Structure 1
Amino acid sequence: MADNAPAPPPLYDNTPTISEKEDPSALPPELAGPCSDQAQVTEEEGVASDIADKEELPLPPDPVETVTVTVMESQLLQKELPAQENPVAVEAEEPKLGEETELKQKQKLGQALQSLKEESNNVSDLTESDQKALLELKQLIEEALNEFSFSSPPEKEKNLAGTLAVEVSIWGIPLLKDDRSDVILLKFLRARDFKVKDAFTMFKNTSHWRKSFGIDLLIDEDLGDDLEKVVFMHEHDKEGHPVCYNVYGEFQNKELYEKTFGDDEKRAKFLRWRVQFLEKSIRKLDFSPGGVNTIFQVSDLKNSPGLGKHELRQATKQSLQVLQDNYPEFVAKQVFINVPWWYLAFYSVISPFLTQRTRSKFVFASPARSAETLFKYIPPERVPVQYGGLSVDPCDCNPEFTISDPATDMTIKPGTKQIVEIIIYEKCIIVWELRVVGWEVTCGAEFVPSTEGGYTVIINKAKKMTPADEPVVHGSFAVSELGKLLLTVDNPTLKKKKLLYRFKVKPLGD
């Protein structure tokens, strides 16, 4: 089965409420998404709710947990930290009996992630049989170029040297000119399990389709911006892949739905828009052998439209066929978030019929675990604020922080109080921002001078935060004497909470 490009929105009403039911016998949308890779499926995140996802109950207070950060020099903290550096030092704990299973699951997940790394596109790293297959495919394509199989009649001219007068390209890469062409041909080979003739047939059909669809003219066509909130690119994952977000719930807007799928002409325009979006995204990729030439997909299934919508079903069927046939191996990982319980149940039925390669790229996360799952792949400072991260629209952002300022994420256990202790050894202005995904906690900030018997300055009085509050809390404090800043988060619930924070210091004169 071929690796696919962005497909249409899901065909189910994916709200997590049980009262809004859908027909579970209909085909699921897990193989569809404006930027999804149809053939890739895995289950690294269960969506069955456990006790931590159920009704909130108060717990007796557990011992306070504290992590400590030391501020030595402001210049050091203003430099961007390495991507893998964690500015919080935490003592390792022996796993408790109740945590052993969780520890094993994390180790298993780590092994799974390691085994799912993308294949190398360096020819020297390929097996002997794969190198042979690539060479054979290049020979077939060279013969086809000499016979003008990929050119229209007006282009079938040769220059005085007897070579092709017109250069044939795909996704902006000239065929057989350099090793970038090899990277593209490897995508077709992998989509067809390195069966050379099948890969060549797929490539030839794709070339003919691109010409008949008018891809070169489509790139510059003005198709409007009505769907810019349905599918958008935002930042990169930890491996450097651009991240594409697919927000299916936007189609709950009846006006937008009618404008997009109301008749055959509108559905044809929708297909052209999706192909155009993908083409523009692909042309920004790096097709050098060591470059990033795949996209990280995030599909938000919250409130997505239902299968009963005939127009959407038609658009889906048409789009899937086009995209799965012509865009092989362009997805690095496909993460589904806000997944309802029945969605995974349906997947478990069809999963045995899929290949290991097919299952290897899909990840499912329930609403309660969506943010935590995204943070495994995308730094929290690069995850949009609406999905639990700290990245906001540039016009709304806190000017003190940008996506280049790394954040720390940590888990607050149920019924515990977490204190982030920032020890300051210089006079300065310290600024910070903090969020707890989903809130339902009490948080506050205070400064404690180092002087023995000194007073405590309450910067932010402890306040109970709810999901209706602003997602990110900002704060600042002018430190006129040495001491420590304490950021306190009290989690009284039975749910684990994900805490994000980052800070920087500035000279006191600023």
Structure 2
Amino acid sequence: MCEGREREREKSIMDFNIMESSAESKEELTRNRLVRALIERKDPSSKEVDDPTIRRFLHARNFDISQASAMLLKYLKWRRTFVPNGFISASEVPNQIAQDKMFLQGSDKKGRPIAVVFGNRHFQDDLKEFKRYVVYGLDKTCARIPPEQEKFIAIGDLEGWGYSNSDIRGYLGALSILQDCYPERLGKLFIVHAPLVFMTVWKIVYPFIDNKTKKKIVFVENKMLKSTLLEEIDESQLPEIYGGQLPLVPV
């Protein structure tokens, strides 16, 4: 009798969870439709925007329909102006590519692509070209995200970073593009080999990072580097320089 009541209780809990999940899905679908109606009314070209994109912008604005719509419309306007051809070509960012500072290969245990960026290879230069390079790299990374995922993870390697790499304008520009134009794309950012001198710049940049992004940033101690990365990434997918098996491949 007790076992029968326990099974009935477990079934009731499961049924409730399914109903709750279904209700949340309906609510999310309703919000998606409202955002779509708003943006299509103001920008007919937004008809090409898919539902996952709308959902990401809703998540970024805590499901506030008005704020998500405004953010998405601003993004669409920016995209038409900044990326008029629909993509950034390598010929538009030759100096940035020559620095070999971004690498892309492998996936974490959830299937999210892994990007590796070396901070000591970035120098303050042409801000416009650097911003184009950020878009170039993000588009390349997002293109590798499998259908069942929406995010990527990144490793920011600061070994050898010094004041010559301290590009506040560039960092803030990259942060703005990531947060405003690629919301809910970053799954996690591991910052490794961070020197003490970097913390001066970090204190300047930190207030500009939104709360959602802050929760995704992890500073990794050198002695815990491999073990921390292996929690998210199989050794077969981890770059060789961190104790894994994959060679680095530049973007």
Instruction: Name the TM-score class by shorter chain.
Output: 0.7 to 0.9
* Structure 2 unaligned spans of 5+: 1-20
Aligned-pair identity (%):
22
1:296 equivalenced with 2:153 (yes/no): yes
Residue 235 of structure 1 corresponds to which residue in structure 2?
106
Aligned match for 2:178, one of 323, 328, 340? 323
More helix by share: 2
Aligned match for 2:140, one of 265, 273, 280? 280
> Max radius of gyration: which structure?
1
Between the aligned partners of 1:232 and 1:299, the Cα distance in structure 2 is 11
Go from structure 1 to structure 2 and tell me whether the alpha carbon gap of 1:319 and 1:335 turns closer, same or farther (over 3 Å shift).
Answer: closer
Report if aligned partners of 2:104, 2:248 keep a CA contact under 8 Å in 1: no
1:126 equivalenced with 2:36 (yes/no): no
* Between 379-388 and 181-190, the greater mean CA deviation after superposition: 379-388
Residue 334 of structure 1 corresponds to which residue in structure 2?
189
Which secondary structure does the structure 1 equivalent of 2:63 belong to? Answer: coil
1:250 equivalenced with 2:121 (yes/no): yes
Between the aligned partners of 1:130 and 1:268, the Cα distance in structure 2 is 37
Deviation at 1:376, TM superposition (A): 0.8
Between the aligned partners of 2:179 and 2:135, the Cα distance in structure 1 is 12
| CA-to-aligned-CA distance 1:278-319 (integer Å, 9 cap, x gap) | 122223334x4xx1221111111222232895xx22322333
Deviation at 1:203, TM superposition (A): 0.4
Report if aligned partners of 1:307, 1:313 keep a CA contact under 8 Å in 2: no
TM-score (norm 1): 0.39
Report if aligned partners of 2:118, 2:157 keep a CA contact under 8 Å in 1: yes
Report if aligned partners of 1:298, 1:335 keep a CA contact under 8 Å in 2: yes
Between the aligned partners of 1:344 and 1:319, the Cα distance in structure 2 is 18
Deviation at 1:343, TM superposition (A): 6.8
| CA-to-aligned-CA distance 1:394-434 (integer Å, 9 cap, x gap) | 9xxxxxxxxxxxxxxxxxxxxxxxxxxxxxxxxxxxxxxxx
Deviation at 1:365, TM superposition (A): 1.0
Report if aligned partners of 1:340, 1:366 keep a CA contact under 8 Å in 2: no
Report if aligned partners of 1:219, 1:280 keep a CA contact under 8 Å in 2: no
Deviation at 1:215, TM superposition (A): 4.3
| CA-to-aligned-CA distance 1:87-125 (integer Å, 9 cap, x gap) | xxxxxxxxxxxxxxxxxxxxxxxxxxxxxxxxxxxx958
TM-score (norm 2): 0.75
Aligned match for 2:39, one of 135, 141, 148? 141
Name the amino acid aligned to 1:246.
V
Between the aligned partners of 2:23 and 2:160, the Cα distance in structure 1 is 44
Report if aligned partners of 1:244, 1:298 keep a CA contact under 8 Å in 2: yes
Q: Number of residues paired by the alignment?
A: 222
Between the aligned partners of 2:120 and 2:232, the Cα distance in structure 1 is 23
1:187 equivalenced with 2:56 (yes/no): yes
Report if aligned partners of 1:297, 1:334 keep a CA contact under 8 Å in 2: yes
Residue 375 of structure 1 corresponds to which residue in structure 2?
230
More strand by share: 1
**Higher RCO (Cα < 8 Å, 6 or more apart):** 1
> Aligned-residue CA RMSD in angstroms?
3.1
Aligned match for 2:82, one of 182, 207, 213? 213
Residue 71 of structure 2 corresponds to which residue in structure 1?
202
Which secondary structure does the structure 1 equivalent of 2:98 belong to? Answer: coil
1:364 equivalenced with 2:235 (yes/no): no
| CA-to-aligned-CA distance 1:323-345 (integer Å, 9 cap, x gap) | 32211110111112223468789
